[in-house]
Amino acid sequence: MFLDYFALGVLFFVIIFIFYGIIAIHDIPYEIAKKRNHPQQDALHIAGWVSLFTLHAIWPFLWIWATLYREDRGWGFSDSRKRELILEGEVKELIQHVSVLNERLTALEQPVAVGQPTQSDDKPQEA
């Protein structure tokens, strides 16, 4: 008789342990999102509960969704806006540099246009 009650107690313990274990596992994406200060934490938490009803089919996608975002670099695909600003600054510097070079070139070409002889004018042309 004792073994029957003991087996029943072990069965209840295992069922409750598995039940709470599944719930804890399905909160892992939400915990990751909280740790990373994810902007969609609430959606991940709700989707974790929905994944219990979809027999865990969407849970791997929740894990991926939670790990994609990091507070220091955003979604991690690229820092496109930051990179665009850097490139924009570099382009402005290059445009200024080209305009300075054009002014210098124009200043160097002006004496030639006035009529000063060049090296090719001093040498007789050979036919």
The whole-number pLDDT of residue 117 equals: 59
Q: How far apart are CA 108 and CA 102, in angstroms?
A: 10
Q: How far apart are CA 56 and CA 93, in angstroms?
A: 54
Structure confidence by residue, pLDDT tens digits, 49-87? 999 889 889 999 999 999 999 887 788 776 667 778 889
pLDDT for residue 98 is more than 80: yes
Residue 40: phi and psi, rounded to 5, are -120, 40
On whether the CB atoms of residues 59 and 48 are closer than 8 A, the answer is yes
Mean pLDDT of 116-123: 58
Give residue 16's pLDDT band: very low, low, confident or very high (50, 70, 90).
very high
The whole-number pLDDT of residue 31 equals: 96
Q: How far apart are CA 73 and CA 6, in angstroms?
A: 54
The whole-number pLDDT of residue 89 equals: 92
pLDDT for residue 20 is more than 90: yes
Task: Tell me, yes or no, if the pTM score tops 0.75.
Answer: no
Q: How far apart are CA 47 and CA 49, in angstroms?
A: 5
The whole-number pLDDT of residue 70 equals: 86
